[in-house]
A and B are shown apart, each in its own frame.
Chain A
Amino acid sequence: NSKVIQTPRYLVKGQGQKAKMRCIPEKGHPVVFWYQQNKNNEFKFLINFQNQEVLQQIDMTEKRFSAECPSNSPCSLEIQSSEAGDSALYLCASSLSRQGEDTQYFGPGTRLLVL
């Protein structure tokens, strides 16, 4: 069973507000991923890190989304100005490596509702 911890489990924000969520990866996993799962169960990759460095991110995250994985602190994903379309389940996953063949272990997610 996955030991990825995500907090909070639920987040309710008004439009234009900041939304911040955190993730503690499995111990010993240097690679962390953030995905967005919408109400239609579609997954969108947002960003990933190896240790503290960004490996890849989509264009959307360069604008309103910011993320970091500081040393000895939880990773975080923050939406600077929430929009209704950001309502989704945000999933954090961790892995032993960035090789596509390694299993990613997912946390339970943070469900964001933007009113």
Chain B
Amino acid sequence: GNSVTQMQGQVTLSEEEFLFINCTYSTTGYPTLFWYVQYPGEGPQLLLKVTTANNKGSSRGFEATYDKGTTSFHLQKASVQESDSAVYYCVLGDRRTNTGKLTFGDGTVLTVKP
């Protein structure tokens, strides 16, 4: 089956520091990779999406690159702000299943201190 691994459960940074969140995935299908962000009291919302066709996605200063060789999809941001504090999920979609079911990583809680 499909799986997603986020090794970092928690990341704490100060404002303007560099963010890197590790994500690796496993699938025998045709992946589309997402990063979703969830703020307290809200549902997850799309941060960025990458398919095998475009390899790299970016949004609001965040970037992620899909690497088929290492099956990785790490998230990074050059300079974080306090408002970036949230839970970040690496998510795998699989076109092979034809049902749209997503596989979520366990999430990384990002805390940015002012």
Contact = CB atoms under 8 A, between A and B. Distances in A.
A101 B43 CA distance: 19
Given A103-B34, A108-B41, A98 B98 contact: yes
Interface in B67-95: 87, 89, 93-95
A100 interface: yes
- Majority SS at the chain A contact face: loop
Interface residues on A, range: 20 to 34
Contacts of A40: 106
Interface in A97-115: 97-109
A104 B98 CA distance: 14
A91 B44 contact: yes
A41 B37 CA distance: 12
A101 B99 contact: no
B45 A101 contact: no
